[in-house]
Amino acid sequence: MPDTVFHTALPTAATLLPLPPDARAQGLRRWGLHGLAVQSVVDLLPGLGDAVVVHLGHACSVTAVSGGMPRATTAAVSPAGGVVSLTGSGDLDPEVVLRLVEVHGGSVAEVRQLLQRRSGVAGISGGRTDVAALLSAGDAAADLAVQVLVRSVAMAVAAAVTTLDRWEGLVFTGGLGAGSPELRERVCARLLPLRPGAAGLPGPPSEQLAGSGLEVLAVPVDEEAVLDRLARAVGPAPGPRSGGRPSDRRSPAADR
């Protein structure tokens, strides 16, 4: 899948799941998610250095990047794993999944639907997934859903930092990551203890982190540009038309 290609360069220790060989032989490993988005960030910010990319959308993931290459990522084999997302549970104790299978009479399909479509923010908020509305709702379920999302993301960022030699950048992408300043500030507030002295600096949490020397960015990604570049790298060069005249029109992909 194109969205996992970026993560094929992860070190073995980052992709290997702690399972016995016969289980891993079934293709069970950490495949990653949002590879096109992270690659877009790397392409747009070639001097990024050692950074953590936080993709917040319907599905959410956190990826550590060093020198343009992945060091760690949260998602394994489905968008429901890793950090909490709008409808996905995030990582769970395996016993929780097994008990759910028992409760649902052994139906894996029902449990998969529950974990991927009815959990996460939706599972806590009563089915609501509009984060902007949840941030302003003011009821206990909405507040708790946002708290759990922010906590999960911040904890994943903290873990990702441990895979880097130094922490130079924090990049938010995705519809929520780039589009919700309040959500970004809430995540940044949780990360202040990781930067000594940051909490005493003026401004909102993102500016406090920036004042500590961390580059904090919100970047709308261009996944189509990445797909176009990858396609051109593996595909044949465009040839002349059947009449022998070179085409004088660029492809629609090139115009995006």
Give the residue numbers annotated as catalytic, written as ranges: 3
Each domain of the chain, given as residue ranges in start order, spans 2-232
Residue 83 in this model has a pLDDT that exceeds 70: yes
CA angle 35–41–47, rounded 5-degree value = 130
Kindly report, residue by residue over 140-189, the tens digit of the pLDDT. 999 999 999 999 999 999 999 999 999 999 999 999 999 999 999 999 99
Contacts of residue 40, Cβ cutoff 8 Å, sequence gap at least 6: 173, 219, 221, 222, 223, 225, 226
Kindly report, residue by residue over 202-245, the tens digit of the pLDDT. 999 999 999 999 999 999 988 777 777 777 777 665 555 544 43
CA angle 236–239–245, rounded 5-degree value = 170
Amino acid 251 reads: S
Q: Sign of dihedral through CA atoms 139, 140, 144, 147?
A: positive
pLDDT of residue 3: 82
pLDDT of residue 153: 98
pLDDT of residue 240: 53
The matching CATH number, chosen from 1.20.58.220, 1.10.3210.10, 3.40.1190.10, 3.30.420.40, for 2-232 is 3.30.420.40
